[in-house]
């Protein structure tokens, strides 16, 4: 059965990079990847496909950290990857992207849809990867001219959460622009079927980067992740 954690120790490898306090086979594999492989690399691409819980608008991800020159290299890689959107995040210290940042390499990751196969997402991943490799000079072909729109996440209201448990009925789709106050979903309480559903509205405007893919939810579960467009010049002001 598909799962994101190891059956050996229950750990998620994309959460255990760089933490010497952790132990187990997943942590040992992550340590080998970081110390032996990434340390010898100049570039890295980490491709993800959402999961059973979340569907993403196919997009690139870069960490908004580093000096101006390093950020410019990541921005250039994101343009070469050519997804419609690229999210600029602070990220997790235990991820492969964080390991790449610690090594000082040019690191790009991507979320390509959700827990199902879609031809369009496969094409974005394949053409984006080959064009990025060409941009890095690792393929004989010259890179195609492609552009992406950058989105900043983590702002107030960027995560829309469920106020109650029940069944989630989405009223929007990934990649759509949302206005402040717009209804983005309804929650149908399974304990009060005779009551009208609770309408959930967005507290902030933004682009729907990710949306919950399963109907059954608990109070406090995420429904949407939003990103707001940011000018490229603003990206050269590091998050930290």
> Per residue in 209-227, pLDDT tens?
999 999 999 999 999 999 9
How far is the C-alpha of 10 from the C-alpha of 3, rounded, in Å? 10
How far is the C-alpha of 40 from the C-alpha of 199, rounded, in Å? 51
In this structure, are residues 207 and 85 in contact, taking their beta carbons and an 8 Å threshold?
yes
CATH topology for the 13-152 domain: Aminopeptidase (3.40.630)
How crowded is residue 176: how many other Cβ atoms within 10 Å of its Cβ?
Answer: 15
pLDDT at 238 over 60: no
Higher per-residue confidence, 157 vs 92:
157
Query: pTM of the predicted model, to two decimals?
Result: 0.91
- pLDDT band with cut points at 50, 70 and 90 for residue 2: low
The mean pLDDT of the chain is 92
In this structure, are residues 148 and 78 in contact, taking their beta carbons and an 8 Å threshold?
yes
Q: Strands, DSSP E only, in the chain?
A: 43-48, 54-56, 59-63, 85-89, 106-111, 149-152, 159-161, 166-170, 177-178, 183-188, 198-201, 206-212, 216-217, 222-229
How far is the C-alpha of 95 from the C-alpha of 89, rounded, in Å? 12
Residue 77 tokens, joined: 């890689």
pLDDT at 1 over 80: no
> Per residue in 13-30, pLDDT tens?
999 999 888 889 999 999
Report the CATH number of the 159-228 domain. Answer: 2.40.50.100
> Per residue in 174-207, pLDDT tens?
999 999 999 999 999 999 889 999 999 999 999 9
In the chain, where the domains are located: 13-152, 159-228
Give the pLDDT score at 240: 52
- pLDDT band with cut points at 50, 70 and 90 for residue 154: confident
How crowded is residue 16: how many other Cβ atoms within 10 Å of its Cβ?
Answer: 21
Give the pLDDT score at 208: 97
> Per residue in 49-101, pLDDT tens?
877 889 999 999 999 988 999 999 999 999 999 999 999 998 788 999 999 99
Beta bridge partners of 86: 60, 150
Higher per-residue confidence, 145 vs 235:
145
In this structure, are residues 81 and 131 in contact, taking their beta carbons and an 8 Å threshold?
yes
In this structure, are residues 225 and 209 in contact, taking their beta carbons and an 8 Å threshold?
yes
pLDDT at 239 over 80: no
How far is the C-alpha of 55 from the C-alpha of 174, rounded, in Å? 7
């Amino acid at each position: 059965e598909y799962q994101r954690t190891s059956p050996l120790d229950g750990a998620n490898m994309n959460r255990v990079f760089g933490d010497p306090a952790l132990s187990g086979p997943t942590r040992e594999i992550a340590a080998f990847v970081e110390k032996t492989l990434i340390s010898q690399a100049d570039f890295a691409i980490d491709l993800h496909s959402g999961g059973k819980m979340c569907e993403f608008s196919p997009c690139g991800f870069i960490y908004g950290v580093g000096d101006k020159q390093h950020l410019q290299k990541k921005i250039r890689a994101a343009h070469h990857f050519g997804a419609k959107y690229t999210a600029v995040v602070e990220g997790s210290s235990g991820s492969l992207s964080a390991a790449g940042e610690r090594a000082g390499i040019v690191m790009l990751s991507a979320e390509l849809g959700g827990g199902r196969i879609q031809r369009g997402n496969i094409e974005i991943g394949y053409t984006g990867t080959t064009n990025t490799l060409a941009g890095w000079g690792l393929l004989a072909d010259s890179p195609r001219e492609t552009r992406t729109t950058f989105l900043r996440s983590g702002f107030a209201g960027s995560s829309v959460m469920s106020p109650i448990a029940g069944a989630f009925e989405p009223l929007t789709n990934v990649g759509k622009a949302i206005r402040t106050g717009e209804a983005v979903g309804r929650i149908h309480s399974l304990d009060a079927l005779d009551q009208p559903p609770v309408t959930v509205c967005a507290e902030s405007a933004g682009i729907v980067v990710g949306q919950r893919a399963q109907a059954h939810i608990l109070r406090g579960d995420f429904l949407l992740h939003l990103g707001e467009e940011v000018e490229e010049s603003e990206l050269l002001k590091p998050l930290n």
